[in-house]
Amino acid sequence: MKHLLYLKELNQEIILQLLDKAESFLSHNNYPTEKEKILQGTILANLFFEPSTRTRSSFQIAATRLGADVINIDEEHSARAKGETVIDTINTLEAMGVSYFVIRHRERNIFEKMIKSTNPGSHIINAGESDESHPTQGLLDLLTIRKHTKNFDRLKVAIIGDIKHSRVARSLTEGLTAMSVKELTLITPDEFKPNMEHYPNASHSNNLDEGLTNADVVVALRVQTERIKSLRAAIGPKDYFENYGLTEERLLSCKDNVIVMHPGPMNRGVEISNAVADGIHSVIKEQVTNGIATRMALLSMMQEQLPT
């Protein structure tokens, strides 16, 4: 827990501790008590080299509420645009006293290199790595599921959409595996079927109605057009919505109390209808609120483990 790179590195006990801590913050509207402001005197840097609204803002809110100073660096307006490497950027910020680095990067396996080149007192948190991993999204998704359903080992979870290019699906699957989920179904057109080696306990269907049958939790995903070189014409937005768009009618195959999740940003009318996104089964806004609690819990647990 010095760094957080992948959810598969955390066992069920640690995940439960994180979720319990996050629920305790949620019970106070995501405001810590004076005693819980344990990041006072520390600096956290958000280094986002891909766009973000939710993850960057919620880390900023979480760290600020815990007492840290926060700085935000992006590619366009930093020395990265002049060719500075990410390692040099981190080392420069370390020289200013930054000890928490929340990083989103499009390159795979870059986090291990960062850890090798940073100060022993620095913490690296993966805030989204290529199409591989997004561990804090996975944690906030687990928190959202637990708040509505409790027993993971009785749940059927269905994930729909562009799973091949989804770091969210990978991390959520790692988390659900740690929590011993009963059933996980991936619903995708053939183009978006992932390498199933990364989903060893999941089944795959390319039929939405079949895959959704008796689901307790449905996760809709955006088509990651920025990561796809060429899309065949048949997966235009209209065809896609017809075959894989989540509508109220489609939800009838699920359990009556199904919850609908989406990590955002949503493409309404492509992977999800307005009626479902804003409907009674949707917990999409709760996911965003839970993101602050989850990130506060993570930062607190990292700081608490430091020797005094």
Structure tokens at 294: 């989850």
* From 50-58, 73-81, 184-192, 267-275, span contacting ligand CP (CB under 6 A): 50-58
User: Does 144 engage in binding with ligand CP (CB under 6 A)?
Assistant: no
Close Cβ partners of 308 (under 8 Å, ≥ 6 residues apart): none
Selected from 52, 185, 294, 303, the binder of ligand CP by CB under 6 A is 52
DSSP assignment of 219-238, as one string? EE----GGG-S---GGGSHH
What x-and-dash track marks residues 111-130 binding ligand CP by CB under 6 A?
Answer: -----------------x--
Minimum gap (Å) between residue 52 Cβ and ligand CP: 3
Nearest to ligand CP of 21, 262 (CB atom): 262
Selected from 8, 37, 54, 148, the binder of ligand CP by CB under 6 A is 54
- How deeply is 71 buried, as exposed, middle or buried, from its count of CB atoms within 10 A (0-12, 13-18, 19+)? middle
Provide the residue type at 274 as one letter: N
- Report how far residue 263's alpha carbon sits from residue 21's, in angstroms, rounded to the nearest whole number: 21
β-pair type (69-74, 183-187): unpaired
What phi and psi values does residue 143 have, to the nearest 5 degrees?
-60, -45
User: Does 185 engage in binding with ligand CP (CB under 6 A)?
Assistant: no
What x-and-dash track marks residues 229-268 binding ligand CP by CB under 6 A?
Answer: ----------------------------------xxx---
Nearest to ligand CP of 36, 58 (CB atom): 58
Closest CA to 267 of 234, 235, 291: 235
Selected from 42, 55, 267, 300, the binder of ligand CP by CB under 6 A is 55
Nearest to ligand CP of 94, 144 (CB atom): 144
User: Does 53 engage in binding with ligand CP (CB under 6 A)?
Assistant: yes
Close Cβ partners of 226 (under 8 Å, ≥ 6 residues apart): none
Structure tokens at 162: 């562009």
Structure tokens at 168: 């969210």
Q: Where do contacts with ligand CP occur on this chain (CB under 6 A)? A: 52-55, 128, 137, 263-265
